[in-house]
Structure 1
């Protein structure tokens, strides 16, 4: 199952992340991510709602999937995780170097785009606690739960 999770993480580059707003309602947002094994990183604006939400509560729910014309070929995963603000400059620089590599098919203009400096963004390391692996090829709404 770990191999399937890694294939899904490695094969995608955007995710939907839900954080908790101050009023208790979840806020779901699409963000790009990079991963190294089961650890994911994403960045957002310093004063973004996501960054403010995560400063209060580090719990997140995440989905990673893709659109398909055949309902019975839906695959993807969701996870319960904790998102920790990255404060180590070396880790931040490493992740910022990884980001453009996730987009090898980007246009030349995008490829030349300057990545922000670590102090210009809020960078989060996502540590999964539970995965739910969705695989309709095994039956309608089939899921496997995996605890980390």
Structure 2
């Protein structure tokens, strides 16, 4: 991967905190959901409930499509990423705890939770590691619909 493109991808991942992740439902239809994420280089992590539809979808097919982007009033300033990736549960407790620490650092303004909520732990949530296979870097500043395709 070209180093300049890698730096652009990392900059986009580091400047955002939410992404849309699409999984495949049992009936074959995609299900797109907005989730918070953290990244460690090109690996992304997100959390979901162990009994959620997303977790059930991923248990039968770990392929996901992801977008990371932002709103802009200037059409020609659109930038973002889309990815084809695999999302697999994190089973290593040390890795899970590291992800939770990264998540807390990513949301420093979140100093407390409502009284009826507690901070998630590796035992109460499911953490997924997203490993990109194909990344499409969208950059309209280089022309309408311009993308650079990166194979991982």
Determine whether 1:125 maps to 2:149: no
Listed as ranges, the gaps of 5+ residues in structure 2 are none
What's the TM-score once normalised by structure 1's chain length?
0.95
Q: Deviations over 1:54-91 (max 9, x none)?
A: 00000000000000000000000000000011111111
Q: Corresponding residue for 2:112?
A: 109
Aligned to 2:58: 54
CA deviation after TM superposition for structure 1 residue 107, in Å: 4.8
CA RMSD of aligned residues (A): 1.4
* 2:34 counterpart (30, 34, 38): 30
How many positions carry a matched residue from both structures? 146
Which residue in the other structure is 2:84 paired with? Answer: 80
Q: Does structure 1 residue 99 correspond to structure 2 residue 103?
A: yes
Residue in structure 2 matched with residue 15 of structure 1 by the alignment: 19
**In the alignment, does 2:151 pair up with 1:142?**
no
| In structure 1, distance between residues paired with 2:111 and 2:27 | 42
Q: Unpaired segments of 5 or more residues in structure 1? A: none
Q: Is the 8 A contact 1:96 1:115 kept in 2?
A: no
SS at match of 2:112: helix
Task: State the SS of the aligned residue for 2:144.
Answer: coil
Give the secondary-structure state (helix, strand or coil) at the position aligned to 1:83: strand
